[in-house]
Each structure stands twice: as structure tokens, then as C-alpha cells.
Chains A and B, each alone.
Chain A
Amino acid sequence: MADRFYVLRAFLVMAAATFPTRVFPFLVPKKYRNNAHLKFIGLYLPPAVMLLLVLYCLQGANFSAVPYGIPEILSIVVVVAAHLWKRHGLLSIGLGTLCYVFLVQTGIIERWLALL
């Protein structure tokens, strides 16, 4: 069992390490805030960051051995298809996650690949 005071101190340390990263842009002097380049980055950074976060989430997937990232790819296809169909965030996330949990917990992809 972890020492409780150690865990509580760790929480404070984690909070102290998180806030500076979030406050950084607000420390940029006011005169630069209407800067055209900062606006450009503010507009086009979000889409790029979202794709990076998707790639980051897929880091744990195994693409070089069974199941070759098939559960991840299939589930993402489900999310994208559902979202293009209804454009309802909750529905897309729910269907995709159900698909993934089903594929992972039943191990169905591994069994099919073993048959090949």
C-alpha cells in the first residue's frame, strides 16, 4: 500500500506540473496577442492537435503482430462512419467503444486470424 501522504504530495506535484503548461500562452505580452501569426496558429493548431492525439492514443496498439491493430482500425472506421452518418458525438463514441470492447474482450479477431 502506498503511503497516503506521499500520494497526496504527488497530487500537488502533478497539479504544479500541469498549470504552467496551461498558463504559458496567457503570459505572452498583450501587444503580441493580435499578432497575425498567433491567430493563424490558433486557428490551424486545433485540427492538427486532434489528429496527433488520435495517433498518440494508437501508440499502444500492436500493428506488427496479432491482432495487427485490426480492433483499433475497425473501431475507428465505426466511429467515422457513425459520425458522418448522424454527426452525433455521443452516438459515434458509444458505437466505436462498444465495437472495440467487444473485439478486445472476446478476442474474436485473434481467433479468426488463427483460422487463416
Chain B
Amino acid sequence: MRAFRRAFKSSIPVLFGYVPLGVAFGLLFNTLGCPWFYAGLSGLVVFAGSAQFLCVNLLAAHASLAAIFFATLSLNLRHMFFGFSMFHRFPENRWLKPYLIFGLTDETYSVLTATKLENRREDERFCLWVTFLNHSYWVLGCALGGLLGSRFRFDTRGFDFVLTALFVVLALEQAFAVKRAFPFVIAGAAGAAALKICPKQMLPFSLAIVFAILLGKSLQTEDKDG
């Protein structure tokens, strides 16, 4: 129960991020004219908020499935490096592990990297609860948005700032945790460069730069030590 309590407490900011954002997604998704629960279904099956938002426009334009595949893939490329922090934390169970990997969103990753429980078993349960709770919040938000959107009209302008605010808070928490400036300096420079050079692929591009620089820095440190 300790693991659940810690997980619930850590996931509360995500609750207040995911539900409004999910509602915003559901409201937007409703413009496609699908049954209201499709928005919730999207959250349940896909569980990648930014890709879901992006694909509403593609679906409205009747884009090909291949186009949808590549759009989703490029937006989610940033996840490629997330698991590198998770090897020692996820359970080896053959059902639970794939679920935890499936649920490794930006927010789940942020919450999990911000807190680690001492006891291995407790920590595995913590990871599982955080993932499950976040997934539930997201499905709840999407379904609620679909339901509300099928009944009322809303002015949702500005609601999407929840996501920005969430990442600002998580960046601050990371700063408190690592107490080093260089990751932010590298990210700032890489992000600015990516926005100038290829704004449409900003995330994969800047992530690749950051990854390369961090690897270079790590190799350099090893040379000095050796």
C-alpha cells in the first residue's frame, strides 16, 4: 500500500494535467463526428497525447494510414531514449513489463525519474501504479471530453497551456534533482538550433543533438579518468 500511496501522490500533478488535456482532446476529436466514446478509446489504445492531437487533423483530412503511421512515429521518436533510465526499475514479468513500456509517456517518465523507492519490489509496484493511474487519468479525460463535446459548446482557448506548465514544473524538479546546469544549456542550444533549422521535426532533431553531445561528454569523461 505504501507503493500505491506514493504513486498516487506523485501522479496528482499528472491527474490535473491529463484530465483537462484529455477533455480538450475529446472536445477536438468530437468534431470528427464519431461516437463520443471513441475519444476515450483513442486514449486507451494509443496513449500518446501529442500524437492523438496531431492525428485529429490528419483524420479530418482523410490522410492515408501510412501518413498517420509516420506522423505518429516522428512525434514519438523522443521516447526512444526514455527506457534508458528504466532498465533497473521495471519488473521482468512478461505481461507487466510490456504494459509499463506501452505506458511510458512523457509524464509517466517524468514522474518515475523524479522518484525512486529504496526497496526493489516496492519500486516495481510504484512504477506499475504510476503507469496505471496515469493511463486511467488520460482515458477518463478523453472520454469526458468526448461526452461533454457531444452535449455542449466550449471555449477551450488556452487550456493546452496545462502541458507547457507541466513540463516547466518537471524541468524545475529535474534541476533540483541533478543540480547541474549543463543538461539545460545543451538542451537550450539544441532546441534553438532545431527551431531554426527544421521546426517541423524539432523534437527528433534536437533530441538527436542532445543525445550525441551527452554521449560525447560521457566518452570524454572516461578518457580523463582512464
Query: Which residues of A come within 8 Å of B, CB atoms?
Result: 1-2, 4, 6-26, 33, 36-38, 40-59, 71-72, 75-76, 79-80, 83-84, 89-90, 92-94, 96-97, 100-105
Contacts and interface: CB of A to CB of B under 8 A. Distances in A.
Given A6-B62, A45-B211, A54-B164, A38 B79 contact: no
B128 to A, nearest CB: 16
Given A45-B81, A93-B16, A14 B46 contact: yes
Contacts of A33: 87-88
B36 interface: no
Given A14-B42, A49-B78, 15 more contacts: A4-B34, A9-B65, A18-B72, A25-B80, A26-B86, A36-B222, A47-B187, A48-B183, A50-B167, A50-B170, A54-B171, A55-B191, A55-B202, A58-B164, A89-B169
Given A12-B45, A17-B73, A101-B157, A25 B168 contact: no
Interface of B: 12-13, 16-17, 20, 32-35, 38, 41-42, 45-48, 51-52, 55, 58-60, 62, 65, 68-70, 72-73, 76-88, 90, 97-98, 101-102, 104, 106, 109-110, 113, 155, 157-159, 161-175, 177-178, 180, 182-184, 186-188, 190-192, 195, 199, 202-203, 206-207, 210-211, 214-215, 217-219, 221-222
B47 A18 contact: yes
Contacts of B59: 2, 6-7, 10
A45 B32 contact: no
18 contacts: A1-B33, A15-B45, A16-B69, A17-B73, A18-B46, A18-B79, A21-B80, A22-B101, A23-B83, A24-B80, A25-B80, A37-B215, A37-B222, A40-B221, A44-B178, A47-B171, A48-B183, A100-B164
A89 B12 CA distance: 8
Contacts of B46: 11, 14-15, 18
Nearest to B203: A56
Contacts of B76: 17-18, 21-22
Interface SS of chain B: helix
Given A45-B81, A75-B161, A89-B13, A13 B69 contact: yes
A110 B34 CA distance: 37
B157 A48 contact: no
Contacts of B182: 44
B69 A37 contact: no
A84 B172 CA distance: 9
A106 to B, nearest CB: 10
B85 A51 contact: no
A93 B165 contact: yes
Contacts of B58: 10
B158 A103 contact: yes
Contacts of B195: 55, 59
Contacts of A36: 218, 222
A1 B191 CA distance: 38
A26 B104 CA distance: 12
Nearest to A46: B113
B84 A41 contact: yes
